[in-house]
Amino acid sequence: MLDRRNFAIGAGALALTGGVARAQSSDEMFTLGAASAPLHLVEYASATCPHCAHFHETNWARLKSGYIDTGRVRYTLREMVTPPAPVAVAMFQVARCNGADTAEYYRRLGILFERQRAILSGGTMASVRDALFAIGAEWGLSNEQVWAAITDQSGAARIQRSISEASARGVASTPTFYLNDQHQTDPAFLTPEGMAAILDATG
């Protein structure tokens, strides 16, 4: 069985669209929360990583309501890919589909994490496509819009840039967290109580 925690590095991992990064761009990831927040939490996550899905299932509501919405934390998710890499790219692309803003991106990504197992359960790219079509329809997106997002080569190139940044920083698995540029290695951060204690102690 594939380990969907360790992310794949290199253009070959992004075989769905064949996009290859040629140059580093400005930060293309969505950041949620007040720019004046004293804490900046960066999560390196993959849409197909079950550990990332679990973190969002258990921790996200508390993180958002208690820290992001109150102006204490600014949060950025940096998009990574774990096997099956083409599906991770597709899911991130659908979260961005049709010009989604920051709030809508994170709303959609939360739903995709919740339905991760169902999306992957068919075991084929055709079943993934159909699952994403169905989810997109719930969001008012046409099949054509969803497919255009999935096959947009700029998505793979963007994620390759994110992977390159993560690799340079020493990130080797998902989820990985940096709080005010400090790598969070305490496993307690993966629990709501541990996360809250660390955030409270830091800022």
DSSP structural state of residue 67: I
* pLDDT, average across residues 95-104: 97
Residue 171 has pLDDT above 80, yes or no: yes
Question: At 131, phi and psi to the nearest 5?
Answer: -65, -40
pTM: 0.88
The answer to whether 122 and 131 have CB atoms below 8 angstroms apart is: yes
Residue 7 has pLDDT above 50, yes or no: no
Residue written as token pair 């997002």? 149
pLDDT value, residue 203? 81
Work out the number of other CB atoms within 10 angstroms of the CB of residue 109: 24
Q: Exposed/middle/buried for 126, CB within 10 Å: 0-12, 13-18, 19+? A: exposed
Residue 144 has pLDDT above 70, yes or no: yes
pLDDT digits (tens, 9 = 90+) for 8-51: 433 333 444 343 333 333 469 999 999 999 999 999 999 999 99
Q: Name which of 137, 6, 9 is nearest 82 in CA terms.
A: 6
pLDDT value, residue 18? 40
Residue 151 has pLDDT above 70, yes or no: yes
Secondary structure (DSSP) of 146-183:
HHHHHT-HHHHHHHHHHHHHHHHHT--SSSEEEETTEE
Strands in the chain per DSSP E: 31-32, 39-46, 73-80, 176-179, 182-184
Q: Quick one: pLDDT band at residue 3, thresholds 50, 70, 90?
A: very low
Full set of structural domains in the chain with CATH? 11-16+30-202 (3.40.30.10)
pLDDT digits (tens, 9 = 90+) for 40-89: 999 999 999 999 999 999 999 999 999 999 999 999 999 999 999 999 99
